[in-house]
Amino acid sequence: MKNIPVIIQSLISVTLIILILIQAKGVGLGRAWGGGGEFYKSRRGVEKVIFNLTVLFAVLFLASSILNIILA
């Protein structure tokens, strides 16, 4: 029972790492896999979803870290 918060935090951290690595810094997802992306545009579609999920999992990671400190 004591290990459940640690397991949850580990799963959140792995997911957060994957989401961050999926994002290519300064370029769109199309460029990351060989597509064009010569001009700047706002996040749309999958890029926006991945960005929002990254923010969500960062907040969840922070909350789970605080929870683990309180429970320790």
Instruction: Kindly list the domain boundaries of the chain, sorted by start residue.
Output: 4-71
What are the pLDDT digits (tens) for 34-67? 655 555 667 778 889 999 999 999 999 999 999 9
**Radius of gyration (C-alpha) of the chain in whole angstroms:** 16
Task: State which amino acid sits at residue 36.
Answer: G
Query: What's the pLDDT at 58?
Result: 97
Q: Find the angle CA(69)-CA(71)-CA(72) to the nearest 5 degrees.
A: 65
Mean pLDDT over the full length of the chain:
83
On the CB side of 42, CA atoms within 13 Å amount to: 1
Query: What's the pLDDT at 2?
Result: 78
Q: Among 27, 13, 22, 30, which Cα is nearest to 50's?
A: 22
Query: What's the pLDDT at 65?
Result: 95
